Amino acid sequence: MNVDRDRIIIFDTTLRDGEQSPGATLNVDEKLTIARQLARLKVDVIEAGFPYASPGDFEAVQKIAAAVGTQEGPTICALARTRREDIEAAGKAIAPAAKGRIHTFIATSDIHLEYKLKKSRQDVLAIVPEMVARAKSFAEDVEFSPEDAGRSEPEFLYQVLELAIAAGATTVNIPDTVGYTTPGEFGALIRGIKENVPNIDRAVISVHGHNDLGLAVANFLEALKNGARQLECTINGIGERAGNAALEELVMALHVRRQYYNPFFGRPAESTEPLTNIDLRQIYKTSRLVSNLTGMLVQPNKAIVGANAFAHESGIHQDGVLKHKQTYEIIDAESIGLTQNQIVLGKLSGRHAFQTRLQELGYSLSDDEINKAFVKFKDLGDKKKEVTDLDLESIVNDEIQQPPELFRLELVQVTCGDRSCPTATVTLRTPTGEELTDAAIGTGPVDAVYQAINRVVKMPNELIEFSVQSVTAGIDALGEVTIRLQHEGRVFSGHSANTDIIVASAQAYVNALNRLYSALQNSSPGSKKSDRLSEAVATS
């Protein structure tokens, strides 16, 4: 591998660390859909999962490696603890990829060694070269991470990294696992590694960081100035606890402020050569896709991709922007693929126009998916005069977000009003093909629908999040409902869009319940992801 690359390597871990966000569990098809979009976004590396964690993770990594890991496509990476069985699973899962990577890790901070691993520093110094060499027997491209590097003793860290590189690691990743460091400290840590690890020139320095103090992006930018060349990040910043560094924020900071960053890469300040390979116009679409499929909403004031990121409320700002855009706008919304609400199609548009527009928007769907999406489009065209790109995107996202259809919503009917008790009737087709109807009252129409569905499905759960967002402006807009429910400590999400928000709410709830049901069906002893993950946490 050329370690002197002149562009920053964008390593996306949405499907691994991002998927560790509570409730963000994705099925294999959804992971594949996101991986395809990440390839369109042109990330350099996709960390597709942790194959040893569960058979589902293994399958997802293997399928992504086969379908997305082409010679021109991204490198497909799999995570493994420094354990033989993990490394073997990772090696097998990435085998179909033209460019595969194994990412193996072990903690190096005293607090992790003493309380979590119950291992000595000497143990780590013995394990690392052996397991990196083992990973090397499966893949030429091996990444090593000293977990909790941000709180590890630097001299010990240098020793571990030197051994990892000597054993064949081509990337050494420095994680701020608990999001504890400050930008100055993190930059100094990277500089220390560059200056004190004798063989560091044989590896790419990477950074990985969590956002517990809201500093992950700032830490990474400082790390770049001190020699890091790979950034590990997620779409919308999703991930464990407060999440990871957000890809879109890093990439746009490097784009908008490239005159500032260029000299750190040996370029003249005025160079217009991009610092990353990312196709900026895919950013917004990727953000929406990940949000819809994971059920993790993007906060309205989120940098770059939040609903308000380009909205100007105050009169002074509006006046300024009308006179000259850059008075208050440093980013052109179109540069991240946020098109105006273009009217593209109407109810008379045919299948060909529909398919062509989807292709122009970057979607490549199977015939079956196009057929299903077209039915929804026609249905929407009947209710809504103008169907915009955002509507199309919502229809397609709904179509490709395919939780296993165990229960199917056949009918939902509600009566409500200020003088009546909200009452709902629902009919569901059960996994055995039976049609069951029940009715319930509730505090409002949505509550009544959910009570009625619960009477049919009989799966105890607590609704912990419910949100409705309108896709476009106007009374006939599609309403997107995203919900999260909890069952025995596990969180499941559901998403749906409809011009009738009661129908969207019912469908989103059924989608989440289907995920819950499918997870329970798949969790046989020995294959339960949560068990394997807790084991991983205890022994990595």
Site for Zn ion, rule CB under 5 A? 17
Member of 9, 11, 15, 17 binding ligand KIV (CB under 6 A): 17
Nearer to Zn ion (CB atom), residue 17 or residue 88:
17
Nearer to ligand KIV (CB atom), residue 175 or residue 442:
175
d(CA 230, CA 227): 10
Nearer to ligand KIV (CB atom), residue 17 or residue 248:
17
37 binds ligand KIV, rule: CB under 6 A = no
Contact partner, 492, from ligand KIV, Zn ion, none, Cβ < 5-8 Å per class: none
Q: Quote the least distance from Cβ 181 to ligand KIV, whole Å.
A: 12
Contact partner, 105, from Zn ion, ligand KIV, none, Cβ < 5-8 Å per class: ligand KIV
Nearer to ligand KIV (CB atom), residue 100 or residue 175:
175
480 binds ligand KIV, rule: CB under 6 A = no
Q: What is 230-261 written as a DSSP string? A: EEEEBGGG--STT-B-BHHHHHHHHHHTHHHH
Closest CA to 9 of 271, 267, 223: 223
Contact partner, 158, from Zn ion, ligand KIV, none, Cβ < 5-8 Å per class: none
Q: Quote the least distance from Cβ 213 to Zn ion, whole Å.
A: 15
Member of 105, 363, 407, 509 binding ligand KIV (CB under 6 A): 105
Contact partner, 147, from Zn ion, ligand KIV, none, Cβ < 5-8 Å per class: ligand KIV
Q: Quote the least distance from Cβ 105 to ligand KIV, whole Å.
A: 4
Q: How many residues bind ligand KIV (CB under 6 A)?
A: 8
Tokens 């259809």 belong to: 405
Region 120-159 residues binding ligand KIV, contact defined as CB under 6 A? 145, 147
| Sign of torsion over alpha carbons 484, 487, 490, 492 | negative
Collapsing DSSP to helix, strand or coil, 71 comes out as: coil
Contact partner, 145, from Zn ion, ligand KIV, none, Cβ < 5-8 Å per class: ligand KIV
Q: Quote the least distance from Cβ 83 to Zn ion, whole Å.
A: 18
In angstroms, the Cα distances linking 180 to 160, 472, 513 are 21, 40, 37
177 binds ligand KIV, rule: CB under 6 A = yes
**Phi (first) and psi of residue 413, to 5 degrees:** -140, 135
Intra-chain end-to-end CA distance of the chain, in Å: 28
Q: Quote the least distance from Cβ 177 to ligand KIV, whole Å.
A: 3
Q: Say what angle helices 216-225 and 247-256 make with each other, to 10 degrees.
A: 50
Length of the chain in terms of residues written: 540
Q: Quote the least distance from Cβ 52 to ligand KIV, whole Å.
A: 13
Of the CA atoms within 13 Å of residue 194, those in its CB half-sphere come to 17
Q: Quote the least distance from Cβ 208 to ligand KIV, whole Å.
A: 5
d(CA 303, CA 331): 11
Q: Quote the least distance from Cβ 20 to Zn ion, whole Å.
A: 8
Collapsing DSSP to helix, strand or coil, 320 comes out as: helix
Nearer to ligand KIV (CB atom), residue 231 or residue 280:
231
User: Which residues does 355 contact at the CB level (< 8 Å), separation at least 6?
Assistant: 370, 374
In angstroms, the Cα distances linking 120 to 107, 207, 445 are 11, 25, 59
12 binds ligand KIV, rule: CB under 6 A = no
208 binds ligand KIV, rule: CB under 6 A = yes
Residue pair 245/267 in contact (Cβ under 8 Å)? The answer is: no
In angstroms, the Cα distances linking 70 to 274, 286, 398 are 23, 20, 27
Question: Which H/E stretch holds residue 486?
Answer: strand 479-487
Contact partner, 258, from ligand KIV, Zn ion, none, Cβ < 5-8 Å per class: none
Q: Quote the least distance from Cβ 13 to ligand KIV, whole Å.
A: 7
Residues of the shown chain interacting with ligand KIV in the complex, contacts defined by CB under 6 A: 17, 105, 145, 147, 175, 177, 208, 210
